[in-house]
Chain A
């Protein structure tokens, strides 16, 4: 125990004197979590508060196009432009402007859209009325006309993100359906000579988001709830850098040879590193947690809110730290120089974060990538954090993640020890 304490103290001193390492471990993650959350939050606010200019090419000029324009403007997020430099837009001009990236999208309404829709609806209503014997004018006269499908074109800037495109398309689809339904109701009202409000046109089915945790404390996922665990993981995994560099330096400075000659178990020497870097993981987590809890509300961000136990969160952070340490030991053992260890360590953290779902949720990834994601420690860590933060998970719920992280540490450390042994056989 005495040797372990001394080994731990030595590692503590080495880290304490490594100013660059401390910056990487503590300052960078804090800047990262604050910056990314602020950007994401303000982007979200901008989308809600800033109107996006949309070009509208109205080749119809009828009631329906007016209705589409009114509905789009009512949405609040879009500003419709039908003229540019005092000239009415046509499809060609709209395409050019969007392609140049001056506007994100354009909407082209076809000629006679209103007329054709009204004709089609009237024809269908008339058919029904005749079928039910309610049409008093002409009986059994075939008035069926064939109508071509009316295409409303949406032109997107090629740089527009897929998620945004899908969102806009789905909103316009929904709006057109509503307008078509309203046209049918109006046609019926006119056909039976009813007053304007004869039909109750209000939506009968509405969508309401319900918290799956029922009556338990509700945590609404937002940028903070996602960023705090994600960047905590990122920060913890960055201990790979100073840890692997320390190991490489020990090899190159000759201290490794001396360490090997000690009447001390390798587990004691390694134990000192593990204890210090585990403590660092917990400190990093505490720092980010405090920023989320107390600094975020001061800078206009929602405060970090946890539905589950803080103790379990710390447990997750501890085991994530363990996995990162295993990886750091392996990199430090295999790398010959700090120039190899540092870039490889940093890049591998970024790759693990990308695959693990820190940036893009795994469910949005292709199936093959989802399989890879489930094999990464970042994914286990993130999943465990979300279990506690958003799903009020218990120890039993995060036990699989804790086990995977431990196994990851054991396997990587064992490989490192084996590699070192083999290498020393010359």
Chain B
């Protein structure tokens, strides 16, 4: 059996000095080229889970394996394989799109010539080439999201984490972002993403994992999940069936 691109063994995250688990012990297995969507209400533990899977946050217990390697002893080697697109616009507003991408690409170890080619390619693909020398702070939300995505994929990651990559963008920008992700996936990149857009997740993901209160409550392909509930016709109905209508506000 081929080594999965991502495997977790009983990982959990407990808030310090409390009994509250942001993520309860869970096992995951993601195969190469899958597009996995983590769906769940606010505060369900999606961002914490992605932070642990990407090595940004240390789990309280358990281990994360990327292509069979553990972060503990292979952090830099693993990080080269990973791409991260955070929920916030993780860009420097006073720098231009080109300056931002030059910096992020260089930090992934891309050399000048290769970096220049890749930046030009992605800026063109994302419709931003004419704005490359404009400062990020002058960009619209959709443009920032696209640059945010480019910054995470410049080094052709084998595993890409996206935390709500299409939130707050117009339909056009969303389409460009999803098209680009499909292209990357076709070239071999495994994608793990979080979203609150059920229609988007139904169309985009090959596998969906519904998370609530730090635990996995359902998983499968979108069609399997829909057929598992006789009254459901859409992923949103499945989602609501599992998570209910209760608001999850907490401070």
Contacts and interface: CB of A to CB of B under 8 A. Distances in A.
Contact of B55 (A10, A13, A261, A264): A261
A263 B76 contact: yes
Contact of B92 (A9, A255, A260, A264): A255
B95 A426 contact: no
Q: Classify the secondary structure of A's interface with B.
A: helix
B111 A254 contact: no
Contacts of A424: 56-58
A257 interface: yes
Given A253-B91, A254-B90, A263-B79, A3 B106 contact: yes
**What class of interface size applies to chain B in its complex with A?**
35 or more
A74 interface: no
Interface string A232-273: 000000000000000000000111011111111000010000
B86 A254 contact: yes
A176 B152 CA distance: 85
A18 interface: yes
Given A253-B89, A253-B92, A254-B86, A259 B107 contact: yes
Contact of A262 (B15, B22, B91, B108): B108
A326 to B, nearest CB: 23
A261 B82 contact: yes
Given A10-B95, A426-B13, A258 B90 contact: yes
A14 interface: yes
Interface residues of A, number: 25
Contact of A14 (B22, B56, B95): B95
A196 to B, nearest CB: 84
A92 interface: no
Interface string A6-46: 11011001100110000000000000000000000000000
Interface in B35-76: 51, 54-58, 75-76
A263 B108 contact: yes
Given A7-B107, A263-B76, A426-B13, A255 B90 contact: yes
Nearest to B85: A258
B22 A10 contact: no
A13 B135 CA distance: 12
A24 to B, nearest CB: 16
B161 to A, nearest CB: 8
Contact of B84 (A2, A253, A258): A258
B16 interface: yes
B84, B90, B152 — most chain A CB neighbours (10 Å):
B90
Contacts of A259: 107
Contacts of A3: 106-107, 109
Contacts of A85: none
Contacts of A18: 94
Contacts of B75: 263
A202 B87 CA distance: 88
Contacts of B102: 6
Interface string B221-248: 0000000000000000000000000000
Contacts of B103: 6-7, 9-10
A261 B58 CA distance: 12
A425 interface: yes
B107 A14 contact: no
6 closest cross-chain pairs (CB), A and B = A254-B88, A254-B90, A6-B106, A263-B79, A17-B94, A262-B107
9 contacts: A7-B107, A10-B95, A253-B92, A253-B93, A257-B56, A258-B86, A264-B109, A424-B56, A426-B15
Given A261-B56, A263-B109, 12 more contacts: A2-B111, A6-B102, A13-B99, A14-B92, A253-B89, A254-B89, A258-B151, A260-B55, A261-B84, A262-B108, A426-B13, A426-B57
